[in-house]
Amino acid sequence: MPVAFLNFMEVTMNGLMAGVLYALVALGFVLIYKASGIFNYAQGVMALFSALTLVGIMEGQVPFSHLINALLGTEIHHFGWHINAFFGILFTMVVMVGLAYCVQRFVFRHLVGQEPIILFMATIGLAYFMEGLGDLMWGSDIKTLAVGLPQGGSFAIEDLTATWAAEGERYYGMYIDQLDIVATVVAAILVIALVLFAQYTKQGRAMRAVADDHQAALSVGISLNFIWVLVWSLAGFVAIVAGVMWGAKSGVQFSLSLIALKALPVLMLGGFTSIPGAIVGGLIIGVGEKLFEYQFGPMLGGATENWFAYVLALLFLVFRPQGLFGEKIIERV
Partner 1 sequence: MFYREAGDYKTSYSADNQTFPIRFDRYRYYVVLFVSFLVIPFIINDYWASAIFLPFLIYAIAAIGLNILVGYCGQVSLGTGGFMAVGAYACYKLMTAFPEVNIFFHVLLAGGVTAIVCVLFGLPSLRIKGFYLAVATLAAQFFLVWLFNRVPWFYNYSASGQINAPERTVFGIEVTGPNTEAWAVYLFCLVFLVGSAIIARNLTRGMTGRKWMAIRDMDIAAEIIGVNPLTAKLSAFAVSGFFIGISGALFFSVYLGAVEVGEAFGINKSFLVLFMIIIGGLGSIFGSFAGAAFLVLLPVFLKNVLVGSLGWPTDTAAHFEFLIVGALIIVFLIAEPHGLAQLWRVAKEKLRLWPFPH
Binding status of residue 325 toward partner 1 by CB under 8 A: no
Pick from 155, 156, 309, 184: nearest CA to 245: 184
Cβ 147 vs Cβ 85: under 8 Å: yes
- Minimum separation from the CB atom of position 54 to partner 1 (A): 19
Interface pick for partner 1 out of 1, 3, 67, 146 (rule CB under 8 A): 67
Pick from 193, 240, 253: nearest CA to 95: 240
Separation between Cα atoms, residue 105 and residue 125, nearest integer Å:
16
Binding status of residue 267 toward partner 1 by CB under 8 A: yes
Q: How many residues bind partner 1 (CB under 8 A)?
A: 54
Binding status of residue 107 toward partner 1 by CB under 8 A: yes
**Is residue 12 packed enough to be buried (19+ CB in 10 Å), middle (13-18) or exposed (0-12)?**
middle
Binding status of residue 199 toward partner 1 by CB under 8 A: no
- Minimum separation from the CB atom of position 41 to partner 1 (A): 9
Q: Which of the ranges 110-118, 214-222, 224-232, 278-286 carries the binding residues for partner 1, by CB under 8 A?
A: 110-118
- Minimum separation from the CB atom of position 178 to partner 1 (A): 30
Q: Which of the ranges 7-15, 86-94, 111-119, 214-222 carries the binding residues for partner 1, by CB under 8 A?
A: 111-119
DSSP for 35-98? HH----TTHHHHHHHHHHHHHHHHHTBPTTHHHHHHHH-----B-S----HHHHHHHHHHHHHH
Binding status of residue 331 toward partner 1 by CB under 8 A: yes
Pick from 238, 228, 221: nearest CA to 101: 228
Interface pick for partner 1 out of 7, 74, 114, 255 (rule CB under 8 A): 114
Binding status of residue 130 toward partner 1 by CB under 8 A: yes
Pick from 20, 38, 54, 10: nearest CA to 109: 38
How far is residue 175 from each of residues 14, 168, 206, measured CA to CA in Å?
9, 20, 44
Binding status of residue 298 toward partner 1 by CB under 8 A: no
- Minimum separation from the CB atom of position 83 to partner 1 (A): 25
Binding status of residue 261 toward partner 1 by CB under 8 A: yes
Separation between Cα atoms, residue 230 and residue 68, nearest integer Å:
33
Binding status of residue 86 toward partner 1 by CB under 8 A: no
How many helices (H) and strands (E) the chain has is answered by: 13, 0
DSSP 258: G
Nearer to partner 1, 101 or 120 (CB): 120
Q: Which residue ranges make up the site for partner 1 (CB under 8 A)?
A: 39, 66-67, 70, 107, 110-111, 114-118, 120-122, 124-133, 135-136, 140, 261, 264-265, 267-268, 272, 300-304, 306-307, 310-311, 313-314, 317-318, 321-323, 329, 331-333
